[in-house]
């Protein structure tokens, strides 16, 4: 028997995370806004505007038949490659990298956030539609080279952190697709070699890695101070100190540290529980699907969101080099929020296809 309604538990967890995101963005950014001469709600309103755009993508993922999306995998590849090339040639330079393209009214579009989404769709379709080819060395190598080519275009922006996330998602899809280990391990080796080369070539990436190994950066030190000072119950809403320009970009890249400072270990555990429930519900949905394409699609999209969550928390706790990766559904909105909500829309649409 097939379910007729979407996964309500997943919807509830997602809604709570989005609401908490608005609360945390405001509490972490109001001082920054006022120091810039803006109203205290400046960043909150900006976040809500971005959330409105992301909601359109969420609705598209929820209502547009995902099986029809399969027909757009190749056109999407062409569009992504073209946008990545345009970004490299004429994109906005921000924090030493070209990551977005200006569209109408200087509205920037960051295509790299959707590369991981495309990788999941492409590989899910490949393993489902070409099972015989997927078991041959030549067939798998063609797909691997195609995926690594797109990831390479992301890396040379340079956006090393997004490239690493794409590699992790790509590797997870190879495992989910039961790719033979003698192909997975060489792919990982090549990806690692390319990563090392890019770290050595781009100064800011090299600085982040060497600082992580030898001495934590200023941001990481302040993030650890925020997390440690929060204690068990936190300092209380609005009572954190790091948002007073001690920790740069706290409303985005280090918002988990802000949560830990103001809401303590208890608040952090609640956030962890919400993300774990989202991940667990995704696994549950995938485990109750009959066809390989939808199963792989849910597994891949679900994994991509959870990986980003782990990376953000790992950076905030000094366990990983600084990356500038936002916390899904919570950090100050942008194309990351849009891509993640689109992915959740697709997962929720597929949740109606579960069988019992």
Query: Domain residue spans in the chain?
Result: 8-351
Q: What is the CA radius of gyration of the chain?
A: 20
What residues form DSSP beta bridges with 101? 109
pTM of the model: 0.92
- Provide CB contacts within 8 A for 220, sequence distance 6+: 212, 315, 318, 322
> Is 268:259 a contact under the CB 8 Å cutoff?
yes
- Cis? peptide before 158, omega within 30° of 0: yes
Buried b / exposed e along 308-347 (16+ C-beta atoms within 10 A): bbbbbbebbbbebbbbbbbbbbbbbbbbbbbbbbbbbbbb
Residues of the chain with pLDDT under 70: 1-4, 91-100, 102-107, 134-135, 204, 356
**Residue 118 to residue 120: CA distance in whole angstroms:** 5
What is the reported pLDDT for 324? 78
Q: What is the helix (H) or strand (E) element at residue 98, kind and residue range?
A: strand 97-102
> Is 288:298 a contact under the CB 8 Å cutoff?
no
Quick one: tokens of 19? 């609401």
Q: What is the helix (H) or strand (E) element at residue 340, kind and residue range?
A: helix 335-351
**Residue 29 to residue 46: CA distance in whole angstroms:** 11
The dihedrals phi and psi of 53, each to the nearest 5 degrees, come to -65, -45
What is the reported pLDDT for 309? 96
What residues form DSSP beta bridges with 108? 102
C-alpha closest to that of 114 among 47, 187, 190, 57: 57
What is the reported pLDDT for 132? 73
């Amino acid at each position: 028997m097939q379910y007729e309604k979407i996964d309500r538990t997943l919807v509830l967890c997602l809604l709570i995370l989005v609401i908490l995101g608005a609360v945390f963005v405001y509490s972490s950014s109001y001082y920054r806004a006022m120091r810039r001469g803006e109203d205290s709600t400046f960043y909150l309103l900006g976040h809500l505007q971005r959330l409105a755009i992301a909601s359109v993508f969420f609705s598209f993922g929820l209502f547009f038949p995902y099986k029809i999306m399969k027909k757009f995998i190749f056109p999407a590849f062409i569009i992504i490659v073209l946008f990545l090339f345009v970004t490299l040639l004429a994109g906005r330079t921000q924090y030493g990298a070209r990551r977005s393209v200006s569209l109408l009214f200087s509205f920037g579009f960051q295509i790299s956030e959707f590369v991981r989404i495309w990788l999941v769709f492409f590989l899910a379709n490949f393993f489902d539609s070409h099972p015989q080819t997927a078991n041959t060395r030549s067939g798998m190598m063609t797909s691997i080279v195609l995926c690594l080519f797109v990831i390479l275009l992301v890396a040379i922006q340079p956006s090393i952190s997004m490239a690493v996330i794409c590699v992790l998602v790509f590797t997870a899809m190879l495992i989910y697709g039961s790719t033979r280990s003698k192909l997975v391990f060489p792919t990982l080796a090549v990806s690692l070699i390319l990563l090392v080369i890019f770290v050595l070539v781009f100064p800011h990436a090299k600085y982040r890695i060497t600082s992580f190994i030898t001495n934590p950066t200023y941001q990481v030190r302040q993030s650890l101070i925020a997390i440690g000072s929060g204690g068990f119950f936190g300092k209380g809403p609005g009572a954190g100190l790091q948002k007073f320009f001690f920790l740069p970009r706290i409303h985005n890249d280090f918002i988990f540290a802000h949560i830990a400072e103001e809401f303590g270990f208890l608040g952090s555990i609640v956030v962890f529980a919400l993300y774990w429930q989202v991940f667990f519900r995704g696994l549950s949905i995938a485990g109750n699907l009959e066809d390989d394409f939808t199963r792989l699609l849910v597994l891949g999209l679900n994994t991509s969101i959870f990986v980003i969550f782990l990376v953000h928390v790992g950076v905030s706790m000094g366990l990983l080099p600084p990356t500038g990766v936002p916390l899904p559904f919570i950090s100050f909105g942008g194309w990351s929020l849009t891509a993640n909500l689109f992915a959740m829309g697709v997962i929720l649409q597929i949740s109606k296809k579960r069988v019992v």
